[in-house]
Structure 1
Amino acid sequence: MPERGRIPALEGLVAVAAGLGVGHGLSALVSAGSSPLFATANRLIDLTPTVVKEWAVATFGTANKPILLVGVLAVVALLGLAVGRLATRSLTAAWLATAALGLVVGAAALTDPEATPLWAAPSVLAVLVGGGILTAFSRLGVGDGNTPGPVLSRRRVIVGAAGGGVALAGFGLGELAPTGAPGGPPVLPVPPSPLPARAAGLEGEVEGVSELYTPNADFYRIDTSLSPPRLDHREWRLNVEGMVERPLTLTWDDLLALDVVEADITMLCVSNPVGGPYVGAARWLGVRVADVLAMAGPLPEADMVMSRSVDGFTISTPIQALTDDRMALLAIGMNGEPLPRIHGAPVRLVTPGLYGYVGSTKWVTNLNVTTFARDQAYWTVRGWDEQGPIKPASRIDVPRDGSTVPAGRAAIAGVAWAQGIGIAQIEVSIDEGPWRVASEGPDAGIDMWRQWTYAWDATPGEHRLAVRVTDADGRPQPVGPAEPFPNGAEGYHEVRVTVA
């Protein structure tokens, strides 16, 4: 029977937390993917069926990854409580259970595509620290008959506090590691032929409408990375290989020696539901992918480029989309600033007209020229469409669904896009009535979204508002409905409002 004042389950929790924290801290020196916490969560992401992933994105949005991490921590906490109770019966059994847990986590780390044998080190250290603290608690729990209970309790408090401190310090080290650029962010070059100054959007006239250029801090983020990679631009390398005449490797300086251009491009995640938030527009700075591929000389039979990020994530892009007259970029800047870490610094792929899962590799370090018949990327293996063209669509930003609008003249406003083609008109329907042409905001190019607004004489009551866009070739956006899987959602965005 445990000694009075002892809480074995809590001791196990402290031991496992300390081990996990130390392992996470060591991963800052190895690789973020080697963290016992991140490795476990990453393998869960890989093993999760597509339908569950779509449900998670639709339900939790960009909070899906933090929620996953909390879930992993909760399971680890329960295992720690169980190990603590087991230690009161057999310290050896508790050590074996801790080692088994470490083996599972270590295997999760080593099965990462980018893993090296060193990736097992954080899990090994986690087992040693966790088991060591369990041993310390166990020895303190054995009295000699002369040591008063309160002294033993105080010792346990000291060990527990030390274990908790180790856990916090480890997690802190893992998150406060250097950002990867000891000399600071790169200085962006000035393009020889810059675009005209950014136009003022309708956001200055209509409160609540999406800005014409999405601020970097507000730009959506959807990817599989639990901890965005830290990559120094001076250490960055891009390998171009596969079905090419001249394989090559480019450094940061090599890339900037090519023609640097600007392009206004709207990006969209294929998981975006009708009227959803996973879309943003920016002015990108970079080098045309076509220029880089031309240096390598793709073979005629190649029809796809498999791009790979530094963390091993892969995307397959039709080679035509990277070599035609659209501005597919290896981007280094975003809205006049160096590319933010969470958006793919130092270099990412940006392909107009394609959903992100087939054209927007972050932290890109490899371009493998190949064919769709030979290779499949992360999402296409899971059943998503190979081509992934962005479908024309529109969204109502103002008024919000479920809101109350004062009677009288009111603005209905939002954004619409028809990438690679351009927009002919945007129309609004009220209560399933006739479609009425909306006024359009500034035209920043066929690869950018277009703001729009419509002056509505709002009358009291419940109303349903809808919007649709017609592209420059005269094709209206798909009526749908269609879910995001496997090639993007379809349908008219509608909102219901009350006018009072």
Structure 2
Amino acid sequence: MSTPTPDPSSDSTADRGSRSHRLGVTALWAGLGVVSTLLGMAAAHLVASLLTPSSSPVLAVGSQVIDLTPTPMKEWAIRQFGTADKVILVGSVIVVVLILAGVAGVLARRRLAYGAGLLVLLVAIAAAAALNQGSVSELLPSLVAAVVGVASLWWLHRKASATKAADPGQPREAGTGASRRGVLIAAGALAAAAAVLGGAGRYITSLRSGNVDIALPEPASPAGAFPEGLDGQVKGITPLRVANEDFYRVDTRLDTPVIDQDTWTLTIDGDVEREITLTFDDLLEMDLIERDITLTCVSNSVGGEFVGGARWLGVRLTDLLDMAGVGDTADQIYTTDFDGMTISTPLDLATDGRDSMIAIGMNGEALPRAHGFPARMIVPGLYGFISATKWITRITLTTYAEKSAYWTDRDWATDAPIKVSTRIDTPNALEQLPVGENIIGGVAWAQQKGGVDKVQVRIDGGPWQDAEMGPSVNNDYWRQWFYRWDATEGGHAVAARAISGDGTTQTPARALPFPEGASGIQELRVTAG
């Protein structure tokens, strides 16, 4: 008899089927780990929304990542992603967590303790980050994440491992037929629960993070009438006064702090004759000043978006310091926010006669939560990283030798006046324009330099030509400008520079934001045709 010849194609088909089955089972177990983790994260987020939003495990880890990220990498992220940098950071943290959660699910297939151990390790990292960022009470969301996540994985592991093959004596993993459907239904139920819990957490957080409606008193020193800007006359130009919801926000927080004005206090201590503590109502009863001031973030690149003008209401910083009585040795105002973030401000600059204040109002409303409610510090003419402490709770008079603040520890400058700058709002870079008259327009600022006297525009490297100026609000406020340009067909380079009231011309020297602010001339290319 002849021996039958094996059919290679049959073996190959069997191998492919076996590999496909193994991959399917692995994917199923990875999915169980992901679903368990999502439910734990959602439950933790709900608990955090009721307590302290920043204690949510993902936000806690993200905040720790911000603190540990080298300054050059932070500046790169801001340049590349702008105000979306935090969304991308949180998204990246979630992706990494879910990948590791999938690994935990695969490990649980071999032994439940392995997968559960990895989930507990992930939660421990989040708990450590929360503890580093806040108090022991902020560990609760992480504990909830651990309990819910591990319990979910245990339940799904039990469901997946309990099915039997057709031969009652041979156990098999859930991977085909009714067994897989049962596990998928269970996983789907948990995923739906995660969506509900996560959605509830986001809803509660949004409610608590809403702005507070407080009737603010009339200022003892009002700012006066605000001029009509070029907003409706020059298409694409930034409004002379930026609305609260459109005002830029740059800080190290991934959440919007929720602080109760009834329990909030501001303490002034250190090198003072007497330590004082003020409540929010105390500030409301003091003489308030109202001023139009432009704020600028040191991370603002040439032509960047991190600058804005608004009307602020608050108590003069010098009035508060006089109440405490500043000593003879202090050279630094060391401010602390509700969560321990510190900023240092040169005492001599903050008290040299400029309208420094502890602000409680913005554009006729209570200070928005995202911009520092209940109170924040504002010092005109200094970049925000040394002057604009949000959610402020303490002012300590000290020396630079005794105390070093957050940004100082990261080698940023201690004395950083805002540089004379201008930004082109319209046209956009690479925009296609019609031949003939076009409008070039934007805003310029020169705080503590006599304000903006003029803006000049240069086309294709030619001579600088004076632009037409919008109204001047004050020396601490930005100014709109526009230039009528008769464009010829082809590509063109458009540049703009500002000249301050004291004769300072915006420098063409290029500098990155680190360590004391960006400089250079914004130039963009457009095409007419």
| Corresponding position of 2:100 | 79
Q: CA deviation at 1:486?
A: 0.7
Residue number among 326, 330, 347 corresponding to 1:319 in the alignment:
347
- Give the distance between the partners of 2:295 and 2:212, measured in 1 at CA: 27
Q: Are 1:181 and 1:233, in contact at CA under 8 Å, matched by a contact in 2?
A: no
Q: CA deviation at 1:150?
A: 5.8
Aligned-partner SS, 2:204: coil
CA change 1:355–1:142 in 2 (3 A) is: same
- Give the distance between the partners of 1:353 and 1:193, measured in 2 at CA: 20
Q: CA deviation at 1:144?
A: 6.4
Q: Are 1:412 and 1:454, in contact at CA under 8 Å, matched by a contact in 2?
A: yes
Runs of 4+ that moved beyond 6 A: 1-6, 146-149
Tell me which moved more, 289-298 or 261-270: 289-298
Residue number among 115, 120, 138 corresponding to 1:119 in the alignment:
138
CA change 1:5–1:424 in 2 (3 A) is: closer
- Give the distance between the partners of 1:119 and 1:386, measured in 2 at CA: 33
| Corresponding position of 1:48 | 69
Query: Where does 1:225-374 land on structure 2 (aligned, <5 Å)?
Result: 225-374=253-402
- Work out whether 1:175 is the aligned partner of 2:202: yes
Q: Are 2:297 and 2:306, in contact at CA under 8 Å, matched by a contact in 1?
A: yes
> In terms of Rg, which structure is larger?
2
| Corresponding position of 2:84 | 63
Q: Are 1:3 and 1:141, in contact at CA under 8 Å, matched by a contact in 2?
A: no
CA change 1:94–1:202 in 2 (3 A) is: same
Q: CA deviation at 1:66?
A: 0.5
Q: Are 1:283 and 1:336, in contact at CA under 8 Å, matched by a contact in 2?
A: yes
Aligned-partner SS, 1:171: helix
Aligned-partner SS, 2:453: strand
Query: Where does 1:123-134 land on structure 2 (aligned, <5 Å)?
Result: 123-134=142-153
Q: CA deviation at 1:349?
A: 1.3
| Corresponding position of 1:431 | 460
- Work out whether 1:477 is the aligned partner of 2:506: yes
Q: CA deviation at 1:4?
A: 8.9
Aligned-partner SS, 1:287: strand
* TM-score (norm: length of structure 2): 0.90
Query: Where does 1:376-395 land on structure 2 (aligned, <5 Å)?
Result: 376-395=404-423
- Give the distance between the partners of 1:239 and 1:357, measured in 2 at CA: 21
Residue number among 230, 242, 254 corresponding to 1:214 in the alignment:
242
CA change 1:34–1:420 in 2 (3 A) is: same
Q: CA deviation at 1:154?
A: 5.0
- Structure 2: tracts of 5 or more residues without a match: 1-20
- Give the distance between the partners of 1:401 and 1:142, measured in 2 at CA: 60
- Give the distance between the partners of 1:357 and 1:238, measured in 2 at CA: 20
Counterpart of 1:210, as a letter, is T
Q: Are 1:186 and 1:233, in contact at CA under 8 Å, matched by a contact in 2?
A: no
| Corresponding position of 1:166 | 193
Q: CA deviation at 1:221?
A: 1.1
Q: Are 2:212 and 2:368, in contact at CA under 8 Å, matched by a contact in 1?
A: no
Q: CA deviation at 1:90?
A: 0.7
- Give the distance between the partners of 2:354 and 2:211, measured in 1 at CA: 34
Q: Are 1:181 and 1:232, in contact at CA under 8 Å, matched by a contact in 2?
A: no
| Corresponding position of 1:493 | 522
CA change 1:144–1:225 in 2 (3 A) is: closer
Aligned-partner SS, 1:111: helix
- Give the distance between the partners of 1:380 and 1:404, measured in 2 at CA: 44
Tell me which moved more, 433-442 or 23-32: 23-32
Q: Are 1:275 and 1:493, in contact at CA under 8 Å, matched by a contact in 2?
A: yes
| Corresponding position of 2:126 | 105
CA change 1:402–1:2 in 2 (3 A) is: closer
- Structure 1: tracts of 5 or more residues without a match: none
- Listed one character per residue, the Cα deviations across residues 345-397 of structure 1 (whole Å, up to 9, x for unaligned) are 22111110011111111111111111111112211211110111100011111
- Give the distance between the partners of 2:259 and 2:308, measured in 1 at CA: 24
- Give the distance between the partners of 1:331 and 1:476, measured in 2 at CA: 31
| Corresponding position of 1:417 | 445
Q: Are 2:457 and 2:465, in contact at CA under 8 Å, matched by a contact in 1?
A: yes
Q: Are 2:491 and 2:528, in contact at CA under 8 Å, matched by a contact in 1?
A: yes
Q: Across the two proteins, how many residue pairs are aligned to each other? A: 498
- Give the distance between the partners of 1:162 and 1:23, measured in 2 at CA: 18
What's the C-alpha RMSD, in Å, of the aligned pairs?
2.2
Q: CA deviation at 1:153?
A: 4.1
Q: Are 2:210 and 2:369, in contact at CA under 8 Å, matched by a contact in 1?
A: no
- Give the distance between the partners of 1:124 and 1:223, measured in 2 at CA: 28
CA change 1:255–1:263 in 2 (3 A) is: same
